[in-house]
Amino acid sequence: MKAWVLSKNGIDNLNLKEIEKPKIKPEEVLIKIKAIGLNPIDSMVIDLIPVKSEIIPCAEFAGEIEDVGKNVKELKKGDKVSVYNRYFDGTCSYCLSGEEMLCDNGYIFSIGSNGGLAEYAAVNQKNAIKIPDSVGFELAASLPVAALTSYNALDRANVKKDEFVVVVGASGNTGIFALQFAKMRGAKTIAISSKDWVKDYGADYVIGYENAVEEVKKITNSSMANIVIDSIGEKLWDLGYSLLGKNGRMVAFGTETGSNAKIDISQLYSKQLSVLGSTGGSLKQFSEMVDKSNNLNVKVWKKFNFQDAKEAFEENNNKEKNGRVMISLQ
């Protein structure tokens, strides 16, 4: 099969090769990959995370089952699946409490083992989640990272009906799903974005960051935000934090603009704020999300053929990005 193989850090060391198709173990399934979603984590894999041995990048992918191992019962050839992209041992205290993303021995595919930038991938049956036939592969390949990260973030913040949720970087991969999930929970959504189209993805209000404080004050009748979702890190951290009202919760899960932030402790206690982190999500959350996937939408900005993967990575770093960058093998 054809696969993009990273031999050491740097995009110049990513090469399209002919390698052996994976052989499945009894509890594994072989997936013919149909779509791949690009995320900041993939650029980190290519440029920053030390490459110990040759590895196939890309953490977010979906496809169709081509073959199943002899112990696989619930999946069959032809099933459409999205891939829960974490290895977990199933035995540590976190796995036993249903938090596979915190597994003591866990890792993300594309870092600890091969990812999805290939024609085929073999994964454990537990990691292949069947999706409804009506869900397209572009959405299916947006569930494992873009959607699940937001889903868990809203769970962490315990977003409730009628609360005001501010999404910083609302047009990004995770942002559009944070808006959609917040609406599903009955919350009121405020997108900080320069893109008006986020209204089509669940934003009740779209505001710019220059006058965000005044705008949020106006919209919330001075009570300010109940929840702020921050996916971009350092650059707009102070702004996001300043938008929180009493008992406000801020959830962070991205560091694209840096990872150092200050916290005003007097604000923290006097308003009883909570600052939360979230990473990926659990298998249970993934299934819940798949059940709602018929009502989700993804905005694809550019779609590349498999052989043009390098170009896709380049465009994924484009500051003018206006929706997702995806790679298609259909």
Find the shortest distance in angstroms from Cβ 97 to Zn ion. Answer: 10
**What DSSP string runs through 275-289?**
EEE--S--HHHHHHH
Cβ distance to Zn ion smaller for residue 98 or 208: 98
Give the nearest distance from C-beta 269 to Zn ion in angstroms: 35
Smallest distance from Zn ion to CB 278, Å:
18
Neighbours of 76 (CB within 10 A): 12
* Binding site residues, Zn ion, CB under 5 A: 88-89, 92, 95, 103
As given in the structure block, the two tokens for residue 10 are 């740097």
Beta strands in the chain (DSSP E): 2-6, 14-18, 28-37, 61-68, 80-83, 86-87, 107-108, 120-124, 128-130, 164-168, 188-192, 205-207, 225-230, 244-252, 274-277, 300-305, 324-328
Question: Please, which residue, 88 or 181, has the CB nearer to Zn ion?
Answer: 88
Q: Which two tokens stand for residue 6?
A: 């990273």
DSSP track, 83-151: E--EE--S-SHHHHTT-GGG-TT-EEBTTTB--S-BSEEEEEGGGEEE--TTS-HHHHTTIIIIIHHHH
Q: How far is the CB of 135 from Zn ion (least distance, A)?
A: 29
Torsion of CA 137, 139, 141, 144, to 10 degrees: -140
With respect to Zn ion, which residue has the nearer C-beta, 93 or 247? 93
Q: How far is the CB of 96 from Zn ion (least distance, A)?
A: 8
CA–CA gap between residue 110 and residue 42 (Å, rounded) = 8
- The strand pairing partners of 274, in sequence order, are 249
Contact (Cβ atoms closer than 8 angstroms) between residue 35 and residue 329: yes
CA 92 distance to own-chain centroid: 24
Compare residues 89 and 308 and give the one whose CB is closer to Zn ion. Answer: 89
- Compute how many other C-beta atoms are within 10 angstroms of the C-beta atom of residue 204: 16
Nearer to Zn ion, 89 or 314 (CB): 89
Q: Which is nearer to Zn ion, 69 or 90 (CB)?
A: 90
Contact 207, 239 (CB under 8 A): no
Q: Which is nearer to Zn ion, 89 or 264 (CB)?
A: 89
Comparison of 111 and 273: residue with beta carbon closer to Zn ion: 111
